[in-house]
Structure formats: structure tokens, C-alpha cells
């Protein structure tokens, strides 16, 4: 039986269909609203607007549920690698052994940048932000791609492998450029995350080989960031893709959208908060007191989440990984000690418990990245590398939909009414 809802506008009643998702989510389909009523909806920030239907990721913020293609994130974290998860997110099913080996080989074979591209890094000023370099270089990378139409999943797989593989090479090279160190070539005997760490931290006279514990933590970080429904950057990718832009241009736009401190930069804000606590000299207890008293708009960064109203399921998994990593590395870092004290204090304080302000994925990811030695301005780059499969999958949904239309939001104009132009000599 079809479901409908009724809307009354200017004493006239209109009937609109109700769309029901796989997990029982319900949405009023307003695609015919303007045609029927002459009106649009106003939803600042799109908090109540579903911009699309999607088969990729399911989130239940009330229950703390996150699933990729129907599979709980906990099961993927326990049993899958980032590369397997990326293939699942992009193509909608777990890869067979043949699929996984082929995709892994494609990632390895395409890890080198075209030689001319390596010269581009010399054109950026010293200490240019890696996110600016990443976005520019992804766009530049598209010029080296064959300008042919993507017509099959094989074409998508090859383009995705080139983008996913080279984005980590670009990221590592952008870091090396910023610290005036020579660029490091990828190693063909390393797996995805190990290869990235090798290119980040090796020197021509000193090879870096990550321990299994470090590689495992970065692999989990990437896996847990692979997709997260229609957030700011993913919606940007879909917006650009709707104009039939290519995969590289669409994902470069995603990098720009991710850059901001309210999105991909949230884990940076966690470390900056910890540095501020250390610099103050007054300790964690005083910082928590000031947050609770709402002094100067002070916030506890890395706690609470706009979508998750209880615990962030990714945070539970990263907490366990962070604890194991810190035990393994035996790092003497006052910031990490402050983080652990802050976590314990907040988890036991009724103020935060009542408001369900639990540590989120950004809190623990900041701890893990700092422990591994990732510089602060590379944190958002790490997020971008992890999110690449989700961006590619959302680009693919737009590309594969024969009924896809260019995104074109409306607005309610609040500027001047009809205004006469004043000639220059009368102004």
C-alpha cells in the first residue's frame, strides 16, 4: 500500500508521497512540491533534508549504529582490511579472493606518480598546507588520466585504484616538501597503509618500517573513516558529480570541503585543546570546570557528535586501538597523558554523562595520529585518504544513475527589493 501525507497551503490540501527506506526511515517526497504549490521548503544547513537515496552507508544516531553496505562496522573492524572495506564500499559487496588480489595489485602498480608530477611539488611555497597541495594535485592527476568515458565497473575499479593509490603518494610527498626532505618512492612489497607510512617517514639513508601495531592502528583509522553518509564533504562530491565532473575533480572538491575545522579538522582541534590545557598550567580539572561553567564559550573538543546521540561506534573501536598502541609504543608525551586524564574525567562526570557527551572518533583519532608521529597539519589529509572510498562510491552512484539530474538547490531571497540604478555623477 502506498503511503501519503497531506500538506495544507493557503487553505488548499496537497498530497505528497512518503518514501520508506530499508531500515524504516521515512521521508516526505517533496520533489513535486513547487510544481503543485508554487512554494519551496527552507532548511538552513540541510539538517532535515534528504538530498538523495543511497545504498552505501546506514547510520542510526540514536542507537549508535554504523554499517557499510549493511555490514556492521564492528564486524569489518574485526575481520576486514581497509582495502577490502574500500572495495565493499565502492562496489556494494565483499570482494572475492580474486577481486581483492586484483584490486590490491592495481593499488600497488599505480602507486608511482607520473614523473612530471613530482616537479609540481617544487612550485608550492615552503610550508604550504598539505590539504591545499592535495586538492591541487588530485586535479592535476586527472590530466594524466586517459580521457575516455567510464562505462563499466572495470573502468571504475582502475580509476579508483589510481586515485586511492596515488592520493597517499601525493600526501606523503606534500609532507616531505613541507619539511624540505627528499620525496620517497613507494615500495611494491608493502601493503597499503605500510607503504604510506614508509613514504612519510623514510629517508634515503634510513628506511622506516612500521611495526605491525602501528600499521594495524592506521589501517583501522582508515577503515573507520571510509564513509559516513551525507556529510559536508560527501555531499560536495555528489554536488560536483551531478554536473558530470570526473571522479578526480569531484574528489578534489571533497578535499576542499573536508578542510574546515568543523568537519575534517575536528581531530586537529582536539590536539590544540590538549596543548592549551598544557600551556595553561592549571590542569584538566580546571579546564573541565571552565567548560561546565561555559566560560568564554569554551568547549570540550572531541566529545559528542551531531549525528550520534549516544556513543560513536567508531570511537569504541578506536579507543581500544589507541590503548593498545600507547602500551606498545611506551611514548612519554605529556599531551597524551593529558588526553587520557581528560577522557577518564569526562567519562566519570555526571555533567557529561547526563548530556551524553562521550568521546567521539576525532578524540581517539587525534591521539593515534599523534602517537604514530603524524604532524598536526597532516591530520585532515589522513582523514581524506581514509574517506576516498566513500567519495568514490558516492560519485559512482551519481554516475550510474540514468535519471541523475544536476543538483540545483533553491533559495529564499532576502535582499533589496527592486532598486533604481544611480548614475556615477549622482552617487
Alpha-carbon dihedral 210, 212, 214, 218, rounded to 10 degrees: 100
Q: What is the layout of strands, in order, in the sheet containing 65-68?
A: 57-60, 65-68, 71-72
Q: Annotated active-site positions, please?
A: 305, 362
CA angle 301, 302, 304 (to 5 degrees): 100
Query: Which residues sit opposite 15 in a β-bridge?
Result: 6
Residue 227 and residue 388 in contact, taking contact as beta carbons nearer than 8 Å: no
Q: SS3 sequence, 226-287?
A: CCCCCCHHHHHHHHHHCCCCCHHHHHHHHHHHHCCCCCCCHHHHHHHHHHHHHHHCCHHHHH
Question: CA 104 → CA 98, 189, 198, distances in Å?
Answer: 10, 11, 17
Rounded to a whole number of angstroms, the distance between the first and last alpha carbons of the chain is 65
Question: CA 310 → CA 238, 240, 304, 307, distances in Å?
Answer: 28, 33, 8, 9
Q: What is the layout of strands, in order, in the sheet containing 26-28?
A: 4-9, 12-20, 26-28
Determine the Cα–Cα distance for residues 366 and 383; give it in Å rounded to an integer: 11
Determine the Cα–Cα distance for residues 192 and 197; give it in Å rounded to an integer: 9
Burial class (CB in 10 A: 0-12, 13-18, 19+), 87: buried
Q: What is the DSSP letter of 113?
A: P
Residue 318 and residue 361 in contact, taking contact as beta carbons nearer than 8 Å: yes
Residue 395 and residue 250 in contact, taking contact as beta carbons nearer than 8 Å: yes
Amino acid at each position: 500500500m502506498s503511503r501519503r501525507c497531506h500538506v495544507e497551503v493557503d487553505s488548499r490540501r496537497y498530497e505528497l508521497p512518503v518514501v520508506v527506506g530499508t531500515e524504516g526511515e521515512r521521508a516526505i517526497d517533496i520533489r513535486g512540491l513547487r510544481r503543485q504549490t508554487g512554494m519551496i521548503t527552507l532548511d538552513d544547513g540541510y539538517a532535515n533534508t534528504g538530498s538523495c537515496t543511497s545504498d552505501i552507508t546506514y547510520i542510526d544516531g540514536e542507537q549508535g549504529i554504523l554499517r557499510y553496505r549493511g555490514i556492521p562496522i564492528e564486524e569489518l573492524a574485526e575481520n576486514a582490511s581497509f582495502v577490502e572495506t574500500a572495495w565493499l564500499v565502492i562496489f556494494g559487496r565483499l570482494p572475492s579472493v580474486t577481486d581483492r588480489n586484483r584490486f590490491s595489485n592495481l593499488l600497488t602498480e599505480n602507486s608511482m606518480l607520473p614523473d612530471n608530477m613530482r616537479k609540481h611539488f617544487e612550485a608550492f611555497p615552503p610550508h604550504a598546507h598539505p590539504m591545499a597541495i592535495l586538492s591541487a594535485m588530485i586535479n592535476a592527476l586527472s590530466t594524466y588520466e586517459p580521457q575516455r568515458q567510464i562505462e563499466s565497473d572495470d573502468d571504475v575499479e582502475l580509476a579508483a585504484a589510481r586515485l586511492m593509490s596515488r592520493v597517499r603518494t601525493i600526501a606523503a610527498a606534500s609532507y616531505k616538501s613541507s619539511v624540505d626532505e627528499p620525496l620517497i618512492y613507494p615500495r611494491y612489497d608493502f601493503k597499503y597503509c605500510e607503504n604510506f607510512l614508509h613514504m612519510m617517514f623514510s629517508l634515503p639513508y634510513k628506511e622506516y618500517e612500521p611495526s605491525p601495531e602501528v600499521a594495524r592502528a592506521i589501517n583501522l583509522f582508515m577503515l573507520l573513516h571510509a564513509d559516513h553518509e551525507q556529510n559536508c564533504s560527501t555531499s560536495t562530491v555528489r554536488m560536483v558529480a551531478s554536473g558530470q565532473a570526473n571522479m578526480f575533480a569531484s574528489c578534489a572538491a571533497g578535499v576542499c570541503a573536508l578542510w574546515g575545522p568543523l568537519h575534517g579538522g575536528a581531530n586537529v582541534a582536539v590536539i590544540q585543546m590538549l596543548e592549551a590545557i598544557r600551556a595553561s598550567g592549571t590542569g584538566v580539572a580546571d579546564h573541565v570546570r571552565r567548560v561546565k561553567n561555559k566560560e568564554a564559550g569554551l568547549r570540550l573538543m572531541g566529545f559528542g557528535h551531531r549525528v550520534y546521540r549516544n556513543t560513536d561506534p567508531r570511537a569504541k573501536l578506536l579507543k581500544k586501538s589507541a590503548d593498545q598502541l600507547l602500551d606498545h609504543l611506551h611514548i612519554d608525551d605529556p599531551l597524551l597523558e593529558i588526553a587520557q586524564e581528560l577522557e577518564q574525567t569526562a567519562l566519570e562526570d555526571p555533567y557529561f554523562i547526563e548530556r551524553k557527551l562521550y568521546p567521539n572518533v576525532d578524540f581517539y583519532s587525534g591521539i593515534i595520529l599523534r602517537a604514530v608521529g603524524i604532524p598536526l597539519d597532516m591530520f585532515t589529509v589522513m582523514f581524506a585518504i581514509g574517506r576516498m572510498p566513500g567519495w568514490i562510491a558516492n560519485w559512482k552512484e551519481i554516475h550510474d544513475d540514468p535519471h541523475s539530474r544536476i543538483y540545483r538547490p533553491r533559495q529564499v531571497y532576502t535582499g533589496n527589493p527592486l532598486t533604481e540604478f544611480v548614475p556615477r555623477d549622482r552617487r
